[in-house]
């Protein structure tokens, strides 16, 4: 019958490839007229023609959850299981962006982890616009690289649950993948060099691509260690400032920017120094530099540039002098920040999460996480 998978097709992830799409959505696709009329008896070649006619991507829409032609074609590909070369041809072709996305989607569903990263990452450089159908039936604008990012980072797209793939840094650690080279890398390096020239002492500007996905990379652990150490050396004020800076860094910029900022954040110096230029907290800067020097000494074992460490040591000696010289600076800014922090924390509690009844407090916490107001 028309809906049965090709008998010579391999099983994907241990099951019939069509089962990658869950039951309800699959049933909706089988009942769809586009599927019945256009997708009957398609082969790999004729599928290309149909794919070239696509003009939007999307999942199911409307009250009836009608599937889009894009989804029907994905289902057809799962059914006939084209060769890997054909799928790669789909991805490599430059003329038809929807064919490219179709190939990318299929590869994400069926390919191995290494393949997925290898073939989908070059598509990050494609900035063309795409039309996406929303669940309520309207269209919205998106771009090829946004869709690829969604495919690589999220586990659900176009109403189909994506299989789990390993995080990039895991694959890099095992050696199956190279470090990611972004097309914008030269721009970032220029920017970093400029910043370095502006500042007094040398910064660690290794490009740590490893943690550029939101995975829990070793770099994160380093941050955690740093946080732990900072408790020992400093008082609470600085920790709070830390958190603030880190969060601020996380929020600003997306994608590559964020990773770069995280890189910078790791040597929190950057941020601190910028603040200090604004507020002139010399004492903080000196303490910060000492702390970072210590941390960088620890991190040096793992860091990749060895040459810089020498210059850093030399600078460290100078910094000690400076620290003794400028020990007097107003403590007031710290107190004000403390106050602001306390108020901010109090505000959050007004959300209702400190309700005496634990059940209601729990419910309110859930609501706050979903973005809803507390229970009345």
Which stretch, 80-88, 144-152, 227-235, 368-376, contacts another protein (CB under 8 A)?
A: 368-376
Closest CA to 219 of 309, 303, 305, 117: 303
CB of 177 to another protein, least distance (A): 30
For residue 139, give the 3-state DSSP assignment: strand
| Tokens encoding 168 | 């990039």
The CA distance from 356 to 350, in Å, is 13
Question: By rule CB under 8 A, what count of residues binds another protein?
Answer: 17
**Looking at 18, 60, 182, 353, which residue binds another protein (CB under 8 A)?**
60
Instruction: Work out the end-to-end distance of the chain between its first and last CA atoms, rounded to an integer number of angstroms.
Output: 56
Phi and psi based region of residue 351 (left: phi greater than 0; alpha: psi -120 to 50; beta: remaining)? alpha
**Looking at 13, 36, 65, 335, which residue binds another protein (CB under 8 A)?**
65
Binding of another protein by 134 (CB under 8 A): no
CB of 324 to another protein, least distance (A): 55
Q: Which of 135/218 has CB closer to another protein?
A: 135
CB of 19 to another protein, least distance (A): 17
Give the contact letters, 145-174, x = binds to another protein (CB under 8 A), - = no.
Answer: -----------x--x---------------
Tokens 């073939």 sit at which residue?
A: 119
Binding of another protein by 373 (CB under 8 A): yes
Q: Which residues contact 369 (CB under 8 A, 6 or more apart)?
A: none
The CA distance from 167 to 258, in Å, is 17
Binding of another protein by 27 (CB under 8 A): no
Binding of another protein by 63 (CB under 8 A): yes
Binding of another protein by 175 (CB under 8 A): no
Q: Are 352 and 374 in contact (CB under 8 A)?
A: yes
The CA distance from 310 to 201, in Å, is 12
Q: Which of 67/111 has CB closer to another protein?
A: 67
Binding of another protein by 360 (CB under 8 A): yes
Closest CA to 260 of 189, 341, 196: 189
Q: Which of residues 109-128 bind another protein (CB under 8 A)?
A: none
Closest CA to 287 of 241, 247, 339: 241
List interacting residues with another protein (CB under 8 A).
24, 60, 63, 65, 135, 156, 159, 359-360, 363, 366-367, 370, 372-373, 375-376
């Amino acid at each position: 019958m028309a809906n049965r998978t090709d008998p010579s097709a391999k099983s994907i992830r241990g099951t019939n490839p069509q089962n990658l799409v869950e039951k309800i959505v699959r049933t909706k696709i089988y009942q769809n007229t586009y599927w019945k009329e256009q997708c009957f008896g398609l082969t790999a070649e004729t599928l290309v023609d149909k794919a070239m006619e696509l003009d939007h991507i999307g999942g199911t829409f409307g009250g009836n959850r009608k599937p889009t032609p894009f989804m029907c074609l994905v289902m057809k590909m799962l059914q006939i299981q084209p060769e890997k070369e054909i799928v790669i041809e789909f991805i490599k072709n430059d003329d038809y962006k929807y064919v490219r996305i179709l190939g990318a989607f299929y590869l994400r569903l069926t390919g191995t982890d290494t393949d997925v990263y290898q073939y989908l990452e070059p598509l990050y450089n494609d900035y063309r616009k795409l039309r996406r159908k929303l669940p309520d039936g309207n269209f919205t604008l998106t771009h090829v690289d946004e869709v690829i990012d969604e495919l690589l980072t999220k586990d659900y797209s176009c109403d189909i649950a994506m299989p789990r793939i390993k995080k990039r840094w895991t694959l890099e650690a095992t050696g199956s993948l190279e470090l990611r080279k972004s097309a914008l890398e030269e721009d970032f390096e220029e920017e970093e060099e400029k910043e370095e020239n502006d500042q007094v002492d040398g910064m660690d500007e290794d490009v740590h691509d490893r943690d550029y996905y939101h995975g829990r990379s070793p770099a994160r652990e380093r941050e955690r260690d740093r946080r732990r150490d900072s408790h020992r050396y400093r008082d609470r004020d600085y920790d709070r400032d830390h958190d603030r800076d880190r969060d601020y860094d996380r929020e600003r910029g997306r994608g590559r920017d964020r990773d770069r900022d995280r890189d910078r954040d790791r040597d929190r110096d950057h941020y601190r120094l910028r603040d200090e230029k604004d507020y002139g907290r010399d004492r903080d800067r000196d303490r910060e530099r000492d702390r970072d020097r210590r941390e960088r000494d620890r991190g040096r074992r793992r860091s990749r540039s060895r040459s810089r460490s020498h210059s850093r040591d030399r600078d460290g000696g100078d910094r000690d002098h400076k620290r003794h010289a400028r020990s007097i600076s107003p403590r007031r800014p710290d107190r004000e920040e403390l106050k602001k922090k306390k108020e901010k924390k109090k505000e959050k509690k007004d959300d209702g999460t400190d309700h005496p009844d634990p059940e209601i407090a729990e419910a309110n916490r859930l609501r706050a996480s979903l973005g809803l107001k507390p229970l009345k």
